[in-house]
């Protein structure tokens, strides 16, 4: 929905990125121990050197740099100089320490950071998409804007639009309800410096949220959302936007390159000339398609698991008709069958989003003079089936939702019918439906879950959506 990294680490010794190694040293008792860590498919490999007599070795780890909360994972022979942590979760960043005994004291190496490499299965995007229905959006959270960001802080705008911080409990609740995938809209520009370097602290927070999805067993998708509207598809802004898009995605992709194939990248969101909802001109279409290509090129260029990661590109303004007219030809990619197309659906607007309207009934039987009833819906998703799915390109319905209208329809009969019909119309044609939950379970909103604890605010609506995608 349209909404109003280089990782720099201190010389304490963590590696500069998940795939790199740098010695991290600590001294005591006349001994210096220097540690390196690197992620592999089998775990995290630790190696260290000791410049003196060591009488004991223990391995500790944590998910942050604060040693006070770390956990011991191994007690080793004093002569050991390597260890493989096979219990590390793929895609999770860990900090490690060697705690060594020398003389009459115990001391620590510096902290070394690494991420275990996740598995990329031999799945086409079409095969993966078949495992993703239905999906759910963490709307109005990581893409929320507000106060100015202070570089280096962890004071983000995640709760600026009134939603609680995302938590493992929320993701577990979404999974338990029957959803299989999670779209996580993200804003980046507000957390970047003047040279478009993304805050390491923000990158860590996004990674933490992505790991909630991994832990819950959900396929996750992150994007560059509206992000302040800098991605205008005009020739005048094309060069600057492409440069920023490439720099952002290079940093994002590098940070997540060890994650497995249950993490997807979606390049943009509803790219359009702000305020212009007309079909795109040749200029607008050309520049927007160039954004899709710049995204793919940047991600693939980072290598590792990103060389074959499943990527999602968008239709112009994520509109179905624009997908057919502007984006029928997919961008170039040098790995086969790893691209998906994304569209959104909020028709009819006066029923779904315009809560000031009196249009509260939907469907041919209830509102025969209204537009975008069942036959229109079927026709729109049939276009995506014929234009993309039948040609081997999976389609993600990245957003769709109908607002609660309890002032007219207390039991929510028509909202549930619309949600059911759109979900089913998409799913039966091979399109992955991902419901837009904005986090607010009040009237005139589309929230389905209580964000604070992951409980269901509307079990009947949730059940309707989940059952329609079976």
CA–centroid distance for 190 within its chain: 17
**Eight-state DSSP code of residue 116:** P
Distance from C-alpha of 436 to C-alpha of 445, rounded to nearest angstrom: 10
- Bridge-based pairing of strands 431-437 and 395-400 is parallel
- Among the listed residues 208, 270, 342, 374, the single catalytic one is 270
Within a 13 Å sphere around the CA of 278, how many CA atoms are in the beta-carbon half? 5
- Among the listed residues 143, 158, 342, 399, the single catalytic one is 399
CA dihedral 333, 334, 336, 338 (to 10 degrees): -50
339 forms bridges with which residues in the sheet?
Answer: 311
- Bridge-based pairing of strands 431-437 and 82-85 is unpaired
Residue 143 a catalytic site member: no
Q: Look at residues 374, 272, 279 and name the one whose alpha carbon lies nearest to residue 325.
A: 279
Q: Contact at 8 Å (CB) between 292 and 314?
A: yes
Q: What string of DSSP letters covers 35-63?
A: EEEEEETTEEEEEEEESS--SEEEEEEES
Give the phi and the psi of residue 3 in degrees, each rounded to 5: -120, 130
- Bridge-based pairing of strands 93-102 and 112-115 is antiparallel
Cis peptide before 348 (omega within 30 of 0): yes
CA–centroid distance for 115 within its chain: 18
What the block records as the tokens of 34 is: 């220097």
Distance from C-alpha of 445 to C-alpha of 403, rounded to nearest angstrom: 5
Distance from C-alpha of 239 to C-alpha of 255, rounded to nearest angstrom: 25
| Residues designated catalytic | 270, 399
């Amino acid at each position: 929905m349209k909404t109003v990294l280089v990782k720099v680490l201190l010389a304490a010794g963590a590696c500069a990125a998940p795939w790199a190694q740098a010695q991290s040293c600590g001294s005591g008792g006349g001994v210096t121990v220097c540690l390196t860590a690197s992620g592999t498919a089998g775990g995290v490999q630790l190696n260290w050197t000791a410049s003196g007599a060591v009488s004991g070795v223990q391995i500790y780890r944590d998910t942050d740099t604060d040693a006070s909360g770390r956990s011991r994972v191994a007690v080793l022979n004093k002569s050991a100089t390597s260890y493989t942590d096979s219990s590390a979760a793929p895609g999770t960043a860990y900090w490690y320490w060697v705690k060594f005994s020398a003389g009459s004291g115990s001391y620590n190496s510096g902290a070394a950071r690494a991420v275990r490499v996740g598995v990329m299965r031999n799945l086409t995007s079409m095969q993966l998409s078949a495992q993703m229905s239905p999906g759910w959006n963490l709307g109005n959270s990581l893409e929320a804007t507000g106060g100015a960001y202070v570089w280096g802080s962890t004071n983000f705008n995640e709760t600026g639009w009134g939603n609680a911080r995302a938590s493992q409990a929320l993701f577990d609740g979404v999974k338990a309800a029957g959803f299989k995938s999670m779209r996580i809209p993200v804003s980046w520009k507000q957390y970047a410096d003047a040279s478009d370097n993304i805050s390491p602290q923000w990158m860590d927070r996004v990674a933490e949220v992505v790991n909630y999805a991994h832990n819950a067993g959900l396929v996750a998708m992150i994007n560059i959302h509206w992000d302040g509207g800098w991605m205008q598809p005009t020739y005048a802004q094309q060069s600057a936007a492409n440069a920023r898009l490439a720099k952002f995605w290079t940093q994002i992709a590098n940070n997540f390159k060890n994650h497995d194939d249950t993490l997807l990248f979606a390049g943009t969101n509803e790219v359009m000339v702000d305020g212009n909802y007309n079909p795109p001109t040749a200029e607008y279409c050309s520049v927007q398609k160039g954004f899709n290509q710049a995204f793919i090129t940047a991600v693939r260029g980072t290598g590792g698991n990103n060389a074959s990661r499943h990527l999602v590109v968008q239709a112009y303004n994520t509109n179905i008709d624009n997908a057919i007219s502007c984006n029928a030809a997919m961008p170039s990619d040098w790995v086969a069958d790893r691209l998906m197309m994304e569209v959104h659906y909020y028709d009819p607007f006066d029923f779904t989003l315009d809560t000031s309207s009196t249009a509260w009934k939907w469907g041919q039987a209830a509102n025969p003079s209204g537009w975008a009833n069942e036959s229109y819906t079927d026709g729109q998703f049939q276009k995506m089936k014929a234009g993309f799915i039948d040609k081997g390109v999976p389609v993600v319905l990245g957003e769709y939702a109908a607002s609660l209208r309890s002032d007219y329809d207390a039991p929510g009969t028509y909202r549930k019918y619309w949600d059911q019909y759109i979900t089913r119309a998409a799913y039966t044609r091979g399109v992955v439906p991902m419901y837009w939950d904005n986090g607010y379970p009040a009237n005139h909103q589309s929230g389905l879950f209580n964000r604070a604890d992951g409980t269901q605010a509307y079990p009947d609506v949730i059940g309707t959506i989940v059952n329609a995608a079976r």
